[in-house]
């Protein structure tokens, strides 16, 4: 409480990341300025989910598709991966979402999120098998094993490298326009390598476009939170660089 009150006297907005679930909400309750959740343990990562949703929307627009009826595979550590927790909640605001949740049994998506998606009429498939569950999806969203959430590296090693998406797997099992996403950083160690670097030249690899989108989304959040969105255009300048042709 005291820390929140003191720090909120130093700034107009606070971005907080903390290893304990629920910590940001507790801090925000005492803060006198807005608090943006930059990730609270294995619980939530709302700003990542917003940039993920923005990325999905842009990628689907390029394919003349909307978000209703989206087919998405989420792969990896779905128990501790806070980005997918927040993304499921956002996707549930749309219609007829088809969720393929691929993980080791011990690292499945938390039950309350599964229940919420099903209660809102979405299709949820839980599986430990990668290839058949990425065969007919629009988005393949890979995540790393969250080693920091385990008691030891040895425990995390039990699950590392279970689901590896590389160019060979993509070519054999995915549709030609399946978009590949990852919240980054990807674990490129040989024993993990959940998203292989041999995908780097694949035009459907959206991870760097996804990261770029984080800038504009978080700028927009600051503008809205600080109530200056209507003033942004007054100070805007032409963009003199563009990464789209490279990534």
Q: What is the pLDDT of residue 242?
A: 65
At 55-100, the pLDDT tens digits run 999 999 999 999 999 999 999 999 999 999 999 999 999 999 999 9
Number of other residues whose CB lies within 10 A of the CB of residue 117: 20
Residues 225 and 146 in one domain: no
Contacts of 193 (CB under 8 A, 6+ apart): 161, 164, 166, 187
Q: Nearest CA to 73 among 53, 108, 50, 101? A: 101
Residues 83 and 143 in one domain: yes
Number of other residues whose CB lies within 10 A of the CB of residue 93: 10
Residues 8 and 120 in one domain: no
Residues 74 and 174 in one domain: yes
Residues 100 and 175 in one domain: yes
- Write the DSSP string, 113-149: HHHHHHHTT-EEEEES-SGGGSTT-SEEEE----GGG
At 119-153, the pLDDT tens digits run 999 999 999 999 999 999 999 999 999 999 998 99
Contacts of 142 (CB under 8 A, 6+ apart): 75, 76, 163, 165, 180, 181, 182, 186, 194, 195
Q: What residues make up the domain containing 182?
A: 48-208
How close are the terminal C-alpha atoms of the chain, in Å?
A: 44
Residues 164 and 63 in one domain: yes
Percentage of the chain exceeding pLDDT 90: 89
Please state whether the predicted TM-score (pTM) of the whole model is above 0.95: no
The number of folded domains in the chain is 2
Mean pLDDT, the chain, integer: 95
Write the CATH number for 113: 3.40.50.1370
Measured CA to CA, the distance from residue 233 to residue 220 in angstroms comes to 12
At 168-192, the pLDDT tens digits run 999 999 999 999 999 999 998 888 9
- The answer as to whether 89 is a domain residue is yes
- The answer as to whether 169 is a domain residue is yes
Residues 217 and 203 in one domain: no
Measured CA to CA, the distance from residue 199 to residue 144 in angstroms comes to 16
Helix (H, G, I), strand (E, B) or coil at 110: coil
Residues 39 and 116 in one domain: no
C-alpha 42 chain-centroid distance: 13
- The answer as to whether 71 is a domain residue is yes
């Amino acid at each position: 409480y005291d820390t929140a009150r003191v720090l909120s006297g130093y700034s107009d907005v606070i971005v907080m990341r903390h290893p304990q679930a629920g910590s940001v909400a507790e801090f925000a309750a005492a803060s006198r300025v807005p608090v943006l959740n930059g990730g609270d343990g294995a619980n939530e990562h709302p700003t990542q989910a917003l940039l993920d949703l923005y990325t999905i929307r842009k990628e689907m627009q390029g394919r003349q598709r909307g978000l209703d009826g989206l087919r998405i595979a989420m792969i990896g550590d779905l128990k501790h991966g806070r980005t997918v927790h927040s993304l499921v909640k956002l996707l549930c605001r749309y219609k007829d979402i088809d969720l393929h949740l691929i993980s080791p049994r011990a690292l499945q998506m938390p039950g309350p999120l599964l229940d919420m998606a099903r209660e809102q009429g979405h299709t949820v498939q839980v599986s430990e098998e990668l290839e058949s569950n990425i065969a007919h999806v629009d988005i393949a969203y890979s995540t790393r094993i969250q080693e920091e959430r385990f008691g030891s590296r040895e425990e995390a090693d039990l699950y590392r490298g279970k689901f590896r998406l590389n160019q060979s797997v993509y070519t054999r099992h995915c549709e030609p326009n399946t978009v590949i996403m990852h919240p980054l950083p990807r674990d490129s160690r040989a024993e993990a390598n959940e998203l292989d670097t041999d995908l780097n030249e694949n035009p459907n690899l959206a991870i760097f476009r996804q990261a770029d989108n984080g800038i504009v989304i978080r700028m927009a959040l600051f503008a809205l939170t600080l109530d200056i969105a209507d003033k942004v255009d007054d100070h805007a300048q032409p963009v003199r660089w563009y990464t789209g042709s490279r990534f």
